A and B are shown apart, each in its own frame.
Chain A
Amino acid sequence: MQVTDKELRAKMKKSPAEGRRAFFDEYCNYVYAIVINKLRSCCSREDVEECVSDVFLDFFRSFDTIGKRNEELKGFIGVIAKRRAIDMYRRLSKGMGKTVSIDDDDFEEIASSENVAREAEKTARNELLLKKVHELGEPDSTIIIQQYYYNRTTLEIGKAISMTAAAVQKRSVRARKRLRSMLTEIGVSI
């Protein structure tokens, strides 16, 4: 059930505890998706959950401030999640030796934060990819997203969709082949 921001604000005002719970249920998947998009390659599952909890903590702390400004809560928490994820990524990347010295010969020049052409190309590609994933149909689409976006194991995926890990693995292999052929047909190479 979709809950509007107005209802969430009313709940937060009426009962902060219940309001927080409702707000969390509404936006937890969204925040999780943003965070894991950034931390997928470097962090464990616990680090991701820690970052998600920090995002909601920051949001609840600043709710009194943003609550008075009639802004969109989803966009606000999306910004918090993105920046929190970046902070976490930088902090954990230092420990993993992923920093690059500025004097290194391999150090590339700092690119502009906005590459319009590339951004537009990626957005179009992502839209096509997601469209073809949906065309795979359930449960193959779910298996592909959870396995390659959320970094879930076949065991976790099978538990979530009530299948065995081996069945998930087989369906995942078949789904990847189908998706690749579908993207090749439209001229998208992966």
Chain B
Amino acid sequence: MSEKTDFFDEIIDEKTVEKISEDFPVLSDEEKERIFSAVERKLNIDNAVNTDHSEEVSGVEEYIRPRWLNFISVAASAAVLFGGIGGSLCLMHNMKNGISEDPTPEVTSESVSSPAETPFVSVNADNAAEKDINSVPKTIKAVNDKPAEKAEGNAFISPAVAVVSSDNDETSAEEQATVPVSVSDINEAEPDESAEIIQIDEPITTAVTAVSRESIQTTAVMSTYDYEKLVDTAEKIIDDYDSIRNITDLNLPVIEGSNITVIREMMTPSGDGVYNRMLEYGQVDPDIYSDMQSLKESFYAVMCSSVIENEFFGDVSYSGFSSENIVVDHEYSYITYDGKLYRLLGKEEHELEPLHDKRVVVYNVSEFAFTAEKNYVDLTDGSIVKVKFGIVRDYKANKWSLLNVLKD
């Protein structure tokens, strides 16, 4: 090896190397192929690596929006637009109708034709003064044109007033008279004024009806301005009235030889407070009826009972139970309903049969009361008789109640 260094261990210039390579090529074909394969292999690897990172992206891909999407968009927009417009118009129309449907109490008036036949008067005081008082001696004014004021005064003034029958006994005149009365009047009536003692010498007949309590008690209607509801309410009350009025053939338990003293409040108002309230609202003409007694003498209640709870006779008058000190006037018919004693009717002159094919007509509607009118057939002579029912609102019991009945 020392000999090797003797020749070429020194630095050899490029020109000498070039000459050596040219004059003495050393690489065999096998060596060339091996080295070139290594070059190609490295080059391919390098190209592959560079290819991964040398991708070029050019141009912009254009998004083509489908045409049907445009139609759908237009259709959806149109639907929303027209839906909004239509909804707005419908809403405006409904609101307009709602405002126009604001209920207005119907105010009707009736002219006075005869004091005996037409006890309802709806004229004001001036008009009433112009009329011939002598020709209408027994007329009271029913204030119908100011329901709001009545409501504020918490005093219902019924347009229906019964006419006193001249055939009644004088002893029962006070009980037979019925005047328009408000619920408050009834509630506020003092026991001394309203309590009556009815004595009966003969055995009384009591009837137990098959009518349920719910049917006789009127349905409470929240809205007093709904005419249809008022008609339905009136029909139910009138049906209850008819069912009670026509009880004649039932086998009622007889309490023989007993004296029943009714100590509970009768529904017939008789106090001066009621009369004064009627004067206050112009319901009664003081020139004609100077006091409550004269008013009672002029009218007769077709039905004096009411379904108001505090006007029941009470538990002391159970059917079949003979309670002492309870005196019942024989001039009235009494029934027991739901275990309680009711005064049913006074003496009726005529036997009436209701016409069920015609609906009840409601008028004189106020917040607290209205008048219902129904036609009946008088079986005695076949004539048509109009019966008017005064129906009042009992807010305490949250129901409508029958106040009084008038035959036209």
Q: Mark A residues whose CB is within 8 Å of B.
A: 20-21, 24-25, 28-30, 32-34, 37, 40-41, 49-50, 52-54, 56-57, 60-61, 78, 82, 119, 122-123, 125-127, 129-130, 134, 141-142, 144-152, 160, 176, 179, 190
Contacts and interface: CB of A to CB of B under 8 A. Distances in A.
A34 B23 CA distance: 14
Which of B11, B15, B17, B28 has the most CB atoms of chain A within a 10 A radius of its CB? B17
Contacts of B7: 129, 144, 148-149, 179, 190
A145 B20 contact: yes
A37 B24 contact: no
Interface string B31-50: 11011101110110010000
A56 B32 contact: no
B39 A24 contact: yes
Given A57-B46, A148-B4, A150-B26, A37 B17 contact: yes
Contacts, number: 112
A14 B46 CA distance: 21
A40 B11 CA distance: 12
Given A24-B36, A49-B35, A57-B42, A145 B24 contact: yes
A147 B21 CA distance: 14
B13 A50 contact: no
B192 interface: no
A149 B8 contact: yes
Contacts of A57: 39, 42-43, 46
A123 B263 CA distance: 158
A122 B11 contact: yes
B10 interface: yes
Nearest to A123: B13
28 contacts: A24-B39, A28-B27, A28-B36, A29-B26, A32-B27, A34-B17, A37-B8, A49-B38, A53-B36, A54-B42, A56-B39, A57-B43, A60-B39, A60-B43, A61-B46, A78-B18, A119-B13, A122-B12, A122-B13, A123-B16, A125-B10, A126-B12, A130-B16, A145-B23, A145-B24, A145-B26, A149-B7, A152-B26
Contacts of A148: 3-4, 7-8
B52 interface: no
Given A145-B20, A160-B28, A28 B35 contact: yes
A126 B13 contact: yes
Which range holds the interface residue count of chain B? 35 or more
A170 to B, nearest CB: 14
B19 interface: yes
Given A25-B32, A160-B28, A176-B3, A30 B38 contact: no
Interface of B: 3-4, 6-28, 31-32, 34-36, 38-40, 42-43, 46
A176 B13 CA distance: 22
B284 to A, nearest CB: 126
B29 to A, nearest CB: 10
Nearest to A125: B10
Nearest to A152: B26
B4 A37 contact: no
Nearest to A189: B6
A28 B32 contact: yes
A24 to B, nearest CB: 5
A49 B26 CA distance: 12
Contacts of B4: 147-148, 151
Nearest to A27: B21
Task: Please provide the 10 A-B residue pairs with the shortest distance between their CB atoms, ordered closest to farther.
Answer: A33-B21, A53-B38, A29-B25, A126-B16, A145-B24, A30-B21, A148-B7, A56-B39, A29-B21, A150-B26
B51 to A, nearest CB: 14
Contacts of A150: 24, 26
